[in-house]
Amino acid sequence: MSRRGNTALVAKRSTDRPVDTTEIRALCESAGLDVVGERTQVRPRDPTYDFGEGAVAEMTERVEREDVDVLVVDDELDPGRAFHLEEAVSADVIDRTRLVLDIFAERAETKRARLEVRLAELKYELPRAEAKARRGESSGRRGFKSGGEEPQAAQMRADYKQRIKHLRDELDQLDDADGDLRDARRESGFDLVALAGYTNAGKSTLLRRLADDLSVEENAVQHDDLDDTAASRDRLFETLDTTTRRATVDDHRVLLTDTVGFVDDLPHWLVSSFRTTLAAAREADAVLLVIDATDDPEAIRAKVETSLAELDDRDGTLVPVLNKRDEAGALDSKRGVVADLAGDPVVTSATEGAGVDALRDRLGDALPERERVELTVPNSDAGNAFVSWCHDHGTVREIEYGDAISFAFEGRPEVVAKAEGRTADFGE
């Protein structure tokens, strides 16, 4: 993070009590900032500073007295308020959105994630660059605009918009490639399942419980064709890049994808910048919406409502999961809140494994129905190779060997259709 230092003072204004700074402090920790204090205020938004003048004066004094490097404001500041506040406190001022973007930038490892982060950064920077240009345009003598600055500002805006368009074009190409990959995986017999929800709800630990090749206690086992990690450390945005692992649910061969976690109070334009990442959830056959049971009922309600809005255009069935039951109280009331909004949740503890079998059963019911067909092929090398292909792409049952090989095959409809076509080739 390009800051002058790493000591931070947290500031949060709200119209309601209590003013909770838990999440913004956690975000600061994830960004490598050392929070040395906080200033909260209950009042409407000030048009100049966001905060009242008294609070600004106190923050200015604390910044100087405690040698604070960064004032972190738990709000989205418009360019004007950010400028005035930074001028007043004489320290770097970053708002919640900028802090999240800094964390995203540090965690992005894949090309897709880096492109999405840069797109979000450009969207964030554009209005601020425009505001800075407007301030510069009024700096000519006697208050008149300097002759060359209007064209410079126009060129700056055009440059930003061109860079944004270029990034969107690159992401569109990745969208197409990801769609092709999802189609290929379905044609290989896999059902696609995504884990979605707020950051730190336990999605990564739950993935490790469900995956065939990972344990909660050990680090990942590598597959050549899939991501080689599925970290479950208690850190915000540990999984900015999606992680996909194999799993078996009933007789379904499943690919589980852990998607980037939602976080409170992010503007829609920022969330939309990560559309290729979120597509893993929107286009899955089933979505496990993981909810933190340690939150209070009102926080759960707000988070579920936000999650449902982001997943409104999903293709698959939603399965709500109320996780961390080992750490939570008042489970009945919390379960009722989730049930009212998203259907009756499966209550689990990913760390202890409790409720995971019930989740597998529920997920199995949510996955697409499989078709069944009776097949017969010659008992030959080609016929045995085809049976092996069926084992790899679905479920083979009631197999009988004689002059021919007869068996029942169950799988996704498109796989069953392909199997029937290959069987027909043996008769030609």
| CATH number for the segment(s) 189-366 | 3.40.50.300
Both structure tokens of 405: 């090989």
Q: What are phi and psi of 140, to 5 degrees?
A: -70, 165
Confidence (pLDDT) at 357? 94
What pLDDT shows up at residue 241?
59
Among the CATH numbers 3.40.50.300, 2.60.120.200, 3.90.220.20, 3.40.50.11060, which is that of 7-104?
3.40.50.11060
Q: Where are the beta strands (DSSP E) in 224-350?
A: 243-249, 252-258, 286-292, 317-323, 346-347
Answer for the pair 204, 237: CB distance below 8 angstroms, yes or no: no
List Cα–Cα distances, 317 to 57, 286, 300, 364, in angstroms: 52, 5, 20, 11
Residues with Cβ within 8 Å of 272's Cβ and at least 6 positions away in sequence, in order, are none
Gyration radius from the chain CA atoms: 27
Which tens digit of pLDDT belongs to each residue from 261-312?
Answer: 777 767 777 776 677 667 788 889 999 999 999 999 999 999 999 889 888 8
Query: Which pLDDT belongs to residue 149?
Result: 54
Extract the annotated binding site. 197-204, 237-241, 258-261, 323-326, 349-351
For the chain, the domains span 7-104, 108-175, 189-366, 371-426
Question: Residue holding tokens 């029937």?
Answer: 420
pLDDT digits (tens, 9 = 90+) for 328-358: 989 999 999 999 999 999 999 999 999 999 9
Please state the φ and ψ torsions of residue 296, each to the nearest 5 degrees: -75, 165
Sheet-wide strand order for 70-73: 34-42, 7-14, 70-73, 92-95
H or E element in which residue 246 lies: strand 243-249
- Which residues are annotated binding-site positions for Mg(2+)? 204, 239
Q: At residue 245, does pLDDT exceed 80?
A: yes
The pLDDT assigned to 428 comes to 58
Q: Give per-residue pLDDT as tens, 74-110.
A: 999 999 999 999 999 999 999 999 998 888 888 777 7
For residues 27 and 359, the model is more confident at 359
Q: Binding site for GTP: residue ranges?
A: 197-204, 237-241, 258-261, 323-326, 349-351
CATH code for 371-426? 3.30.70
Q: What is the mean pLDDT of residues 252-266?
A: 81
Cβ neighbour number for residue 300 with a 10 Å cutoff: 22
CB–CB of 273/181 below 8 Å? Answer: no
- Per CATH, 189-366 and 371-426 having the same topology is answered no
Q: pLDDT confidence of 405, banded at 50, 70, 90?
A: very high
Other CB atoms within a 10 A radius of the CB of residue 141 amount to 6
